[in-house]
Amino acid sequence: MIDRMSDDFGLARPSHLKSRSISAENPTGLPGQGARATQGTGEEQSRDLGQGWKVSPSIVLPAGSVTELAAINGSGIIQHIWAAVRPEWWRRLIIRFYWDGADEASIELPIGDLFGLGWDVFTLFSSRHVMTAPYCGLNSFWPMPFHKSARITIENIAQEDTFLYYYVDFGAGDIPEDSMYLHATWNRSNPVADGIHTLLDVEAQGKYVGTFLAVGVNHPGWWGEGEVKFFIDDDDEFPTIAGTGTEDYFGGAWNFELPEGGYTEYHGDRMGMHQVIKPDGLYQSQTRFGMFRWHLNDAVSFESSLRVTVQDLGWMPDGRYLVRKDDIASTAFWFATEPHASGTTGLTYENLLVGSRP
């Protein structure tokens, strides 16, 4: 199915799909139901204007709550998601997507990582599937088809309420029967144990289509020598695909280092290192990085299983490799023929917030 077209991994967007959008101004997404609110987060500001004048531009996410953002019945494809929420909430809000009535979420991760942003730090960047805009405008263009229904929830794990502005733009209507389901798996190792961080370990049929990696170095020295490996189907000890270094997988080379020294951000449609967060001289004493790699033309196909890992590897002063113990959080994007649990691990309050801003 996904080989049928090159655009968006072959996921067709038929012209007959009906345009719909779910937001705080139209929580059902039904035709003619937008901007009808008489109460909402903007009712004080619109008190002189009344209904139809931005009465409900956002929603409140109560502390410790799970809020349903969208419930769509029938088939279609989510084409764009926009959200706006302050950076300090990006690992305090857990977003989940459920396809076709599944009990377990196929996408489950902190909201910032869905949009390629780690460390509760805003960064401008643009790519094929994710882009950010001033200030804290978060955009996802990952195609998300569904056959029977789609449901999105968000959990506020913090002890304070917050506001969320959002759109879920989708096309409603028939989609190809063999359209696969998007999944996103988040995992964090802090510190990485035994030099290996696992991005994905799943039994399914599908295609691996993207990686977001947030790396926080826990001690000085070069951190990106480790290979990214894809263990496909019957692979056991040795993988089918083995890279030559972390920076190589993200399109760079030789430590990402410029001739004059130091790092610089870069980003394009397919890959980038869009976050180079320098030490602040106080609590954040080490540099932190954010990198993405979208497999637009080189999705990794698997028939029965896939395991994806990256080594946490650097150098010793004498030129030997050094197994490090850094802080790595990863998001793996993959399509599968059936809805599956995302395989997310480590979504505890402590694991999400360790290393975040004080």
**Residue-number span of the structural domain to which 349 is assigned:** 7-353
168 assigned to some structural domain: yes
Q: What angle is formed at CA 12 by the lines to CA 170 and CA 177, rounded to 5 degrees?
A: 95
pLDDT reported for residue 287: 93
User: Hey, which residues does 77 pair with through a beta bridge?
Assistant: 145, 171
**Torsion (CA) 126, 348, 304, 194 in degrees, nearest 10:** 90
pLDDT reported for residue 4: 41
pLDDT at 234 over 60: yes
pLDDT at 10 over 60: no
For position 287, which CATH number holds?
A: 2.60.120.1390
340 assigned to some structural domain: yes
Q: Which residue bears the tokens 């020598």?
A: 225
1 assigned to some structural domain: no
pLDDT reported for residue 11: 57
| Identity of residue 223 | W
pLDDT at 6 over 50: no
User: Hey, which residues does 244 pair with through a beta bridge?
Assistant: none
pLDDT reported for residue 352: 80
358 assigned to some structural domain: no
SS3 content of the chain, % helix, strand, coil (to 5): 5, 40, 55
For 261-319, the pLDDT digits (tens) are 899 999 999 999 999 999 988 888 889 999 999 998 999 999 999 999 999 999 999 99
124 assigned to some structural domain: yes
pLDDT reported for residue 1: 38
Share of the chain above pLDDT 90, in %: 88
pLDDT reported for residue 94: 96
Q: For residue 112, what is the DSSP state? A: H
Which pLDDT band holds residue 350 (cuts at 50, 70, 90)?
confident
102 assigned to some structural domain: yes
333 assigned to some structural domain: yes
pTM of the model: 0.94
Q: CA–CA separation, 349 vs 33, rounded Å?
A: 37
Domain count, the chain: 1
Half-sphere exposure of 135 (CA within 13 A, CB side): 3
Helix (H, G, I), strand (E, B) or coil at 258: coil
